Amino acid sequence: MTTTAPELAASSVRFREARPEDLERIVQLLAADSLGTWRESLTGGPLPDAYARAFDEIAADPRNQLIAGEVDGAVIACLQLTFIPGLTYIGGERANIEGIRVDRALRGGGIGKALVRHAIGLARQRGCVLIQLTTDKRRSEAHAVYRSLGFVASHEGMKLVL
């Protein structure tokens, strides 16, 4: 894709559930990131089977959605949205966003913001009481986008890589 962020309006992106044929492109988006380069495995050959297994599990789980953003049939953005039942908030369900990525050449044009807005809309439709995400502390530009959407850094997140 040769379009750049200033040329592509976020409103021209269509969001939909990802399909199996999108998997390789989604993995490319996840890997084409300073933090994703060490987490993902793109060797130029076939994708490791673990990606297809994970995709199939996500697609089969009614509490998970893998969302793709596309323009003219090309996937240019993605995220995973997971719905989590809970006892807190009087048994309220929450939504969790993971793996937000936008094609590097298209960043800065509002596509990521539109993608997260889409996820917020899905969570509202489902009746979730809150939506949450974690973001690496080094992603200051992403933090500004999330704050502009109303997210508040109200908690300290911690992770343990196993």
- Give pLDDT tens digits for 7-56: 566 778 999 999 999 999 999 999 887 666 666 777 777 888 999 999 99
Tell which wins on pLDDT, 64 or 6. Answer: 64
Residue 157 domain-assigned (yes or no): no
Residue 158 domain-assigned (yes or no): no
Tell which wins on pLDDT, 153 or 77. Answer: 77
Total domains in the fold of the chain:
1
Contact present, 101 and 29 (Cβ < 8 Å): yes
Angle subtended at Cα 36 by Cα 32 and Cα 38, rounded to the nearest 5 degrees: 115
Angle subtended at Cα 94 by Cα 161 and Cα 27, rounded to the nearest 5 degrees: 45
Residue 125 domain-assigned (yes or no): yes
Residue 80 domain-assigned (yes or no): yes
Q: d(Cα 32, Cα 104) in Å, to the nearest integer? A: 7
Four-point Cα dihedral 63, 66, 71, 75, nearest 10: -170
pLDDT of res. 37: 61
Q: What is the arithmetic mean of pLDDT over 136-145? A: 85
CATH code for the domain in which residue 28 is found = 3.40.630.30
Q: How confident is the model at residue 99 (pLDDT cuts 50, 70, 90)?
A: very high
For residue 64, the enclosing domain spans 5-148
Residue 159 domain-assigned (yes or no): no
